[in-house]
Homo-oligomer: A and B are copies of this chain.
Amino acid sequence: MIIVFLGTAGCGKTSLTYTFGEWLKKELNVEVSYVNMDPGVYSTPYTPSYDVREIVTVEKLMEEGLGPNGGMIRAAEIIEENIHVVSRKINSLNSDFTLIDTPGQIELFLFRPMGPRLIEDVAGYSPTVSVYIIDPTLASSSSGLAISLTLPLITRLRLKVPTVSVINKSDIPETSKVEAFMENTSSLEDEITREEAGLITDLASRYIKLLSEFSKTMRIVKTSAKTGEGMNDLYTLIHEALCECGDLM
């Protein structure tokens, strides 16, 4: 099966990918392959079985004169042109678990054709789940929580595979703020009703109500790549997500 890790820049994708992979190997005695899909990363804690830097690196594009943002966009375009090569290589890995680590900036993978095209290709070949990683430093403000609850929904719509959410960095103090927030989402609603009336306020208010409901009903697991907390819970969540969708492990 394939597990793809996504989240905003700095949420700890690479560390969680690595920690979860090592946990799988040790606890379940299974074969794990790592895939690096970030053309801009300099080094990874794991040895990738497939590395998209075979195709292009942001570094090389910058040497040719592009800025860091231009380099990332151009790298994404080059990967998109070669996406079937990438997915063929990933599909040929044949491990029990293939963990895909995505680019630092979530928009390169999720808001461009790169991610949807890759996941369409690999999900046709193996059961695939995406793990949306909530960063407590973002989610501990009301608007940041709104973003953190919306992005897993967008991930689900965009990648069309079962999507689970984890709060990562559970070792940092912001995590308990996020939990308190999610248990009492009325502060989210209060914040928006303090605003002036108007179309966007009405919409934003209904949107927040929807997210509040979402946060009350969804099961979110806490993980820490640092302490190793929550790996078993994450595994169970992924397993359940696949079962609900009728796929086999």
Interface residues of chain A, those whose CB is within 8 Å of chain B, are 8-10, 38, 40-42, 58-59, 62, 66-73, 103-108, 110-112, 116, 138, 141-144, 146-147, 150, 152-154, 156-158, 160, 162-163, 192, 195-196, 198-200, 203-204, 206-208, 210, 213-214, 217-218, 244-246
Contact = CB atoms under 8 A, between A and B. Distances in A.
A73 B147 contact: no
Contacts of A152: 200
Majority secondary structure of chain A interface residues (helix, strand, loop or mixed): helix
Contacts of A70: 42, 104
Contacts of A59: 67-68
- Interface-centre pick from A38, A40, A103, A116 (highest chain B CB count, 10 A): A40
A109 to B, nearest CB: 11
A146 B154 contact: yes
B41 A245 contact: no
A113 to B, nearest CB: 9
A116 B210 CA distance: 23
A40 B157 CA distance: 31
Contacts of A146: 154, 157-158
Given A107-B8, A146-B157, A200-B163, A206 B210 contact: yes
Contact of A153 (B67, B142, B203, B218): B203
